Amino acid sequence: MELFKNIRLNIGKAILTKRIARTKKKVYYSNIDLVKNIGIVWDALRPEDFASLSRFYQKMHKRNIEVKILGYFPGKNLPDQYTAIKYLTCIRKKELNFFYHPVSSETNNFISNRFDILIDINFKKLFPLQYISSLSNAAFKVGLFESESGETPFDLMMEIKNPVDVDNYLIQVIEYLEMINSGTVKTVNNN
């Protein structure tokens, strides 16, 4: 059964790679004061991390930055704290296709949204979240540094020692974004 799962996952990754190769992306970031919205892709398996995301949401709300979080929760029933929150949407295993690609309308809307910044909180490298981060239409993408991978969807990579604390990670991301003041546009052609 595990072999069959790995075959499906490898086919899913190959399909994603082909989709990425056909896309063009304009990378743009000038400074944090001009940011209007942030998208966060999150591994929602650890409910204790949600408090960190709530604090981050409040901090950004004070700066008039809209935050939208798309989490992936592989369980059947969402924890109570994930429900009825307007800035959080969780997809589940049943919303993945045969090749582990997320197929919900929420996912499609999130991917097509032109966030000023996308922050990837997918420390375990779950494929459905990698899929979303890779195809996201965000202007600037932030994620963890990956030494073993040559291909990355991220424009800024953070190198943080394991275990990664979500609070610390988000603080570091904002600190680095506050240091950057470029205003440059770079077109990336994945062909």
Predicted TM-score (pTM) of this structure: 0.88
Find all residues with CB under 8 Å of 9, minimum gap 6, and list them.
99, 100, 127
- What's the pLDDT at 58? 96
How do strand 24-29 and strand 184-189 relate by DSSP bridges? antiparallel
Secondary structure (DSSP) of 17-43: HHHHHT-EEEEEE--GGG--EEEEEEE
Rounded to 10°, the helix 2-21/127-135 angle is 10
Q: Which residues of the chain have pLDDT under 70?
A: 1, 147-150, 182-191
Q: Which range of residues forms the domain containing residue 163? A: 2-189
Q: Residue 122 belongs to a domain with what CATH number?
A: 3.40.50.2000
The total number of structural domains in the chain stands at 1
User: For residues 46 and 129, what is the distance between their CA atoms, to the nearest angstrom?
Assistant: 15
